[in-house]
Structure 1
Amino acid sequence: MKWARATGADGSIMTGVIADDMFHPRASLGSDQMAGDAVAVADMALLPPVVPGKFIGLWNNFKAAAEKNGNEHPTHPLYFFKADTSLSGPGASVELPDSAGRVIFEGELGIVIGKTCKNASVEEAEQAIFGYTCINDLTSLDILFADPSFPQWTRSKSFDGFGVVGPVIETDLAWQDVTVTVLVNGRERQSYPAADMILPPAQIVSLLSQDMTLNPGDLIACGTSLGARPVKAGMEVEVVIEGIGGVSVTLTGSTDG
């Protein structure tokens, strides 16, 4: 089942299920309660499918990248937070501020939490996962490593729009069978199997829940693998995962208007 958020012709924001090119409004994410008549998806403007209370990202969670970079496999998620204002969605324009310097894309699989989760077993964590989405974790490399005494994970990843999410949340996805692909101006620039994850989704959720309570709507980016590279203003970047779809944004510069 594909869940989405969208703006209608009257400007109202709705959450619902997409089926047969129609948007079926629901009372809330995961609710069975209808909240209006179905509307053609073509008449809606898709938004990020969830507004997370916590937007968590992982580092060093793919075997191929860890091997290339000479990193040990972590036994607990190595994570950071992205600001809530970094959230952007399908078709957005994302400004690359001059202060950000070199910016790279990172195509990632995203986990959406559906149930409150604290000190969860792996089995309980599996049940707490609502579904999966596409994420582009845009990152300023220059800021990340600007101060040798303190890698600036949060600042480098929290510029407005730097957390691209969408187009939908798919609740029925065999994550281990999918490939994460990134297209830049239509050309494939990153492609890797999600099955290469070091810590799989249920284990990620279980371990994070030992550190903090995870709430419905919280979002976890599972990390990226080989192929992330710099992007510039004027480029269109799309993250595609079969079964979920593709989320595309256009990058602009701070002097573009």
Structure 2
Amino acid sequence: MTKWVRFRANGAIGFGTIAQSDIAVHDGEMFGANKPTGQTLQLGDVELLAPCAPAKIIGLWNNFHALAAKLNQSVPPEPLYFLKATTSVAAHGAVVDRPASYDGKVVYEGELGVVIGKECRGVSEADTASHIFGYTCVNDITAADILNRDPSFPQWSRAKSFDGFGPFGPAIVTGLDPATLSIRTILNGAERQNYPVADMIFSPARLVSLISRDMTLEPGDLICCGTSVGVGVMKEPVNSVTIAIEGIGELHNEFRQTVKA
């Protein structure tokens, strides 16, 4: 497995692979030709950014059997998805503030993220391995009260696209079998979610194949695979949220209730 990160150091943005606290800096393109420069940086000496800059963020609804059963939802015959604004992206360690325009419930959703590495259009499930670059941790933060506020139009994209509502990272990990993974969410020190990827209705490979029949997926695009049971409201003045996936790492962020002026 290889862990890829993107960072800012001395005013410049770079990328590389990380082992423990060392970053081996690379030259070229993360999703194309690249090679190590020989330079090594200490993790503590750089600012970690979101590990890529997706042109599209795609989120899934009702993609786990356990949550579908709890909510008495039928198993969908095809993926149910929405688009999330790229301006919602936040990095590992970022502080996310409650939007000034919204005073309702804000919930965390710990998820597995799939990062595309090669242009993907109408690919078969068997061929998706060569198009998936790797996997990452996602917190698909949601303004829950907006979703169904207007009975004539579910507002998925709006509820999930406020600035900062799309933290992911800290790394993209390659060479990983997602079927063996579990996603944990820890809110203010208490575990709130712990569920297996194997319970997905549509596996990561199946999602990539089916979505690529609808739209071209490009290098860096992020698919958030949906969440399962345990989603909850962030109620404290300052909420510490960790999305932990063994083999990938831990995504840490804070959500603050203080409304910006």
**Does TM, scored on the shorter chain, surpass 0.5?**
yes
Q: How does 1:1-257 map to 2 (within 5 A)?
A: 1-8=2-9, 10-26=10-26, 27-30=28-31, 31-35=33-37, 37-100=39-102, 101-232=104-235, 233-255=237-259
Cα offset, 1:75, TM superposition: 2.5
Distance in 2 (alpha carbons) for counterparts of 1:175 and 1:194: 7
SS in 2 for 1:38: strand
What is the total number of aligned residue pairs between the two structures?
256
Instruction: Give CA deviations for 1:112-160 in whole Å, capped at 9, x if unaligned.
Output: 0001010100011222110000000000111111101101000000000
State the one-letter code of the partner of 2:42.
A
Q: Which amino acid aligns with 1:69?
A: L
Counterparts of 1:132 and 1:61, CA distance in 2? 17
The 8 Å contact of residues 16 and 28 in structure 1, kept in 2 or not, is answered as no
Distance 1:211 1:256 in 2: 38
Q: CA RMSD in A?
A: 1.4
Which letter maps to 2:75? H
Contact kept? 1:48, 1:90, Cα under 8 Å: yes
CA contact (8 A) 2:97 2:259 kept: no
1:99 aligns to what SS in structure 2? Answer: coil
- d(CA) in 2 for partners of 1:255 and 1:224? 27
Unpaired segments ≥5 residues, structure 2: none
TM score, norm. by length of structure 1: 0.96
Give, in whole Å, the separation in 2 of the partners of 1:29 and 1:75: 35
Residues 1-29 of structure 1 deviation map (CA, whole Å, 9 limit, x = unaligned): 00011111x12111111124211122221
Runs of 4+ off more than 4 Å: none
Alpha-carbon separation, structure 2, partners of 1:248 and 1:20: 17
- Change in Cα spacing, 1:254 to 1:97, as seen in structure 2 (3 Å) is farther
Q: Where do 5+ consecutive residues of structure 1 fail to align?
A: none
Give how far 1:255 is off: 3.2
Taking the aligned partners of 2:152 and 2:66, their CA distance within structure 1 comes to 28
Distance 1:250 1:20, change over 3 A: closer
Question: Match for 2:3: what amino acid?
Answer: K
**Residues of 2 paired with 1:236 and 1:181: CA distance?**
14
Taking the aligned partners of 2:69 and 2:129, their CA distance within structure 1 comes to 28
More displaced 10-residue stretch of structure 1: 172-181 or 239-248: 172-181
Which is worse superposed, 225-234 or 85-94?
225-234
By percentage of residues, which structure has more strand?
Answer: 2
**Aligned-partner Cα distance in 1 for 2:249–2:20:** 15
Mapped to 1, the partners of 2:250 and 2:20 lie a distance apart of 17
> Deviations 1:34-89 (Å, cap 9, x if unpaired)?
34611111212211101100000000000000111111212221000110110001
Question: Do the aligned residues in 2 keep the contact of 1:98 with 1:253 (CA within 8 Å)?
Answer: no
The alignment's TM-score, normalised by the length of structure 2, stands at 0.94
Shift of residue 98, structure 1, vs aligned partner = 4.4
What SS is found at the alignment partner of 2:101?
A: helix
Structure 2 CA distance for partners of 1:37 and 1:188, relative to 1, 3 Å = same
Compute the displacement of 1:175 (Å).
1.0
